[in-house]
Amino acid sequence: IMNIKIDEPKVDNLRRGAENPDEYQRANATLMILSRNQDASSIILTIKQIEKHFNSKFHYPYVFLNDKEFSQRFIDRIKKHISSEAFFETIDPADWNQPDFIDKEKQIAGMQKMADENVAYAKKMSYHNMCRYYSKGFYNHPRMRQFKWYWRFEPGTQYYCDIDYDVFKFMEENNKTYGFTIGLYDIHQSVETLWPKTLEFVEMHPEFVNPNGAFSWLVNDLQNPGKAKYAHGYSTCHFWSNFEIGNMDFFRGEAYSQWIQFLDKTGGFYYERWGDAPVHSIGLSLFENRDKIHWFRDIGYTHSPYTNCPNSDKCSGCEVGKLNDDLKSENCLTNWWNLEMDQSARDMY
């Protein structure tokens, strides 16, 4: 793989921007981020790269979401670095805060147990809220509802490659629902009951399961046949969600909506520390056609400590194949290739 040049996503009908940006018809899409006022500097670092490599050509609007009000200083600083419209929005506390039905004693015990096992952010309340919001809230924020497509980005992440095509139109025209760059295992202690609870839901609603879902990736782990990393049947493989490009109609649809309501009622976002990455990944793998899930092999990306670095003349600043060399045991991408891609798709990589 490392010897092959990777300059483009490997599908037909690659859609490029018009020569004259004023005449260009954008997709109904936004670059979105959840952040705090103190994240401004690290957001600017990332926005500079997104603008340079992509958005200075396409001018997609940004949405900034926050559980607190954004300061005027944050808004002024950010606006200096973007080439498009930007919306700075506050999240309704009812959508952000922990719901009343959470059993406090059970929560404290669960958080302590995870802390004892070194689960990151086990006791950080805001982190639990954040994971729940990214699992069940963001796509229904009143501002987000005006859009169909989103590209999630995070403070301090790096983008290394020129992206000279419109990624949103690429998704739309190639009939994709969700795109990712990095696939990882999760800490099994953070998602112990996520899979058993999901199976309960699926037994009640078998009609939601997509016949061409990515099931085997969820339950078979080729790299760890000893099952050391399993969480009660779930391989813990997930698309790393700090970068994702997706169609929010999927999340707003019947299957995902009913499932996420069901999951929320179990309290697992607080008794455990379910991440939005495994939640998105399981939802997509069960309820969407796996052919609609796209690996952006051409998007060079780092969220510390993991990198996707294509061997491409369009990229600079990252080390080709870095993730595979340094952190191989955390990398779940080969399971995705081996279990979910059909032969013709695999041949292209």
Which residue number, 95 or 154, has a Cβ lying nearer to ligand GDP?
Answer: 154
User: Applying CB under 6 A, does 33 fall inside the site for ligand GDP?
Assistant: yes
- Residue 113 beta carbon to Mn ion: minimum distance, rounded to whole angstroms: 24
Q: Return d(Cα 167, Cα 172) in angstroms, integer.
A: 9
- Residue 144 beta carbon to Mn ion: minimum distance, rounded to whole angstroms: 19
- Within 97-126, the residues that bind Mn ion by CB under 5 A are none
Which residue number, 127 or 230, has a Cβ lying nearer to ligand GDP?
Answer: 127
User: Applying CB under 6 A, does 264 fall inside the site for ligand GDP?
Assistant: no
Stretch that binds ligand GDP, among 23-31, 33-41, 189-197, 266-274 (CB under 6 A): 33-41
Which residue number, 126 or 261, has a Cβ lying nearer to ligand GDP?
Answer: 126
Q: How far is CA 331 from CA 123, 193, 308, 349, in A?
A: 26, 22, 11, 17
> Structure tokens of 44?
């600017």
Residue 36 contact partner, candidates Mn ion, ligand GDP, none, CB within 5 to 8 A by sort of partner: ligand GDP
- Residue 246 beta carbon to Mn ion: minimum distance, rounded to whole angstroms: 17
- Residue 306 beta carbon to Mn ion: minimum distance, rounded to whole angstroms: 11
User: Applying CB under 5 A, does 164 fall inside the site for Mn ion?
Assistant: no
Interface mask (CB under 6 A) for ligand GDP, residues 199-228, using x and -? ------------------------------
Among 89, 154, 164, 264, interactor with Mn ion by CB under 5 A? 154
> Structure tokens of 318?
């990252």
The residue annotated as part of the active site, out of 51, 244, 272, 340, is 244
Active site residue 192: no
User: Applying CB under 6 A, does 36 fall inside the site for ligand GDP?
Assistant: yes
How far is C-alpha 64 from the geometric centre of its chain's CA atoms? 16
> Across-strand partners of 150?
30, 246
User: Applying CB under 6 A, does 51 fall inside the site for ligand GDP?
Assistant: no
- Residue 244 beta carbon to ligand GDP: minimum distance, rounded to whole angstroms: 12
- Beta strand pairing status for 238-239 and 149-152? unpaired
> Structure tokens of 267?
């309290």
Closest of 142, 253, 266, 155 to residue 200, by C-alpha = 266
For residue 30, with 0-12 CB atoms within 10 Å meaning exposed, 13-18 middle and 19 or more buried, which class applies?
Answer: buried
- Residue 261 beta carbon to ligand GDP: minimum distance, rounded to whole angstroms: 22
Residue 39 contact partner, candidates ligand GDP, Mn ion, none, CB within 5 to 8 A by sort of partner: ligand GDP
- Within 108-147, the residues that bind ligand GDP by CB under 6 A are 126-127, 130
Chain residues binding ligand GDP by CB under 6 A are 33-36, 39, 66-67, 126-127, 130, 154-155, 242
Give the binding site for Mn ion (CB under 5 A).
154
Catalytic residues: 244
